[in-house]
């Protein structure tokens, strides 16, 4: 039987599909579980998700998504209470729709993280990493890493936000013209 050249080429080009990676050993999974428990205890991840959903429900996610939109800022400034109420209603809808999916993702993400660590490190390496994070220095790193990264983010945003706004304002009309050519809006100038 002779196979067409395209099928042979396809079969030869996809060797990764032929073999699935071996499952990690039970020892590796146990060590990875212990490491994940140290890095991100389930209770902490759950509390973070609950806080994220509460912020979404207040409209914070929508506010952040549109924060750089000049029309959004202008409309918000006109009647802040009305605007905040509308964002909260829309945010509640968003949280109601996305919340169940995010709740289901939490244990799935934990399982995927455990699997990834179990494949990337030996049980001995994971035990050493876990031991470090249980030391005072490791515990301090875990506690302060998030806030430190937020501080760095804020400093970078403060430093570069004006330049980014200027660049966005400069290129905005050009981008809008290109998009208008692709997707003409009814009643828009041509």
Q: What is the pLDDT of residue 97?
A: 95
pTM over 0.85: no
Per-residue pLDDT of 100-152, as tens digits, reads 999 999 999 999 999 999 999 999 999 999 999 999 999 999 999 999 999 99
Please list, residue by residue across 73-84, b when 16 or more beta carbons sit within 10 angstroms of its beta carbon and e when fewer do: eeebeeeeeebe
Please give the Cα distance from 113 to 102 (Å, whole number): 16
- How far apart, in whole angstroms, are the C-alpha atoms of residue 31 and residue 124? 8
Q: Would 111 be classed as within a structural domain?
A: yes
What pLDDT digit, counting tens, does each position of 34-73 carry? 999 999 999 999 999 999 999 999 999 888 888 878 888 8
Structural domain for 129, as ranges? 22-134
- In a shared domain, residues 76 and 105: yes
Tokens of 111: 């399982």
Q: Tell whether the model's pLDDT for residue 161 goes beyond 90.
A: no
Task: With cut-offs at 50, 70 and 90, classify the pLDDT of residue 1.
Answer: very low
Instruction: Confirm whether 190 is domain-assigned.
Output: no
Tell me the C-alpha distance between 6 and 181, whole Å.
39
**Which residues, other chains included, contact 141 with Cβ-Cβ below 8 Å and sequence gap of 6+?**
133
Same domain, yes or no, for 114 and 43? yes
């Amino acid at each position: 039987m002779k196979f067409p050249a395209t099928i042979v080429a396809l079969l030869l080009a996809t060797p990764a599909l032929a073999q699935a990676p071996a499952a990690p050993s039970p020892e590796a999974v146990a060590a990875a579980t212990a490491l994940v428990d140290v890095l991100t205890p389930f209770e902490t991840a759950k509390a973070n998700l609950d806080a994220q959903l509460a912020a979404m429900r207040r409209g914070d996610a929508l506010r952040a998504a549109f924060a750089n939109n000049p029309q959004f800022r202008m409309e918000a400034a006109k009647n802040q209470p009305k605007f905040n109420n509308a964002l909260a209603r829309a945010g509640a809808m968003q949280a109601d729709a996305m919340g169940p999916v995010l709740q289901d993702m939490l244990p799935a993400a934990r399982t995927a993280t455990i699997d990834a660590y179990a494949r990337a490190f030996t049980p001995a390496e994971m035990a050493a990493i876990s031991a470090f994070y249980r030391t005072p220095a490791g515990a301090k790193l875990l506690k302060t890493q998030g806030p430190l990264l937020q501080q760095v983010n804020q400093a970078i945003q403060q430093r570069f936000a004006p330049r980014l706004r200027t660049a966005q304002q400069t290129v905005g009309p050009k981008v809008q013209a290109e998009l208008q050519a692709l997707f003409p809006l009814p009643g828009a100038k041509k």
